[in-house]
Amino acid sequence: MLKQKNSRGCFLCGLQNEFSLKMKWYEDHKARQIRSTVTVPDHFNGYPGVVHGGIVSAILDETSGRAVMLKSGEDALMVALKLEVIFRRPTPTGTPLTVIGWVIKQTASRAQVAGEIRLPDGTLTAECKAIVVPPPQEILDKWEDEKPYWKIYDD
């Protein structure tokens, strides 16, 4: 599987952000999905031992949005226009989670994407559907300074 790029400051993938989950995504072109494994530490809980719903949503947002890169390339950055998350059961902290994202439908100006989080035994804890679009110009302008750090890093 091909590895996707990481950044330096992102809350989810930023390798130089001390608070980041330091997630890494891999492309499975045969399955038309991207995948990541993450263990969320206890300081991101809502209730003891349970990942805060906002963190679950952020993981799903990022993963489903990154799925667009499978077809459109590694610099096809998108932002969520709409995100619907369904929490199936509590997502535990301190447990390796598999996160999967895929594209449902894509046009030149937007994509409908989906994602899910699963426990090691395959149990679904949360899922999402989202509509993603290219970022507005003011975000792209700020991104220029980060471009040198948006790259594939060695594991």
Bridge partners of 36, per DSSP, are 99
Q: What do you get for the CA distance between the two ends of the chain, in Å?
A: 14
Can you say whether the dihedral through the CA atoms of 66, 71, 76, 80 is positive or negative? negative
Element (DSSP H or E) covering residue 81: strand 79-87
- What local confidence, expressed as pLDDT, does residue 74 receive? 77
CATH code of the domain occupying 2-145: 3.10.129.10
Q: What is the mean pLDDT of residues 125-133?
A: 98
- What local confidence, expressed as pLDDT, does residue 43 receive? 96
Q: Are 105 and 132 in contact (CB under 8 A)?
A: no
Q: Domain spans of the chain?
A: 2-145
Q: What is the mean pLDDT of residues 118-137?
A: 97
Report whether pLDDT(141) > 80.
yes
**pTM here?**
0.96
Residue 150: band (very low, low, confident or very high) from pLDDT cuts 50, 70, 90: very high
Q: Are 69 and 106 in contact (CB under 8 A)?
A: no
- What local confidence, expressed as pLDDT, does residue 73 receive? 82
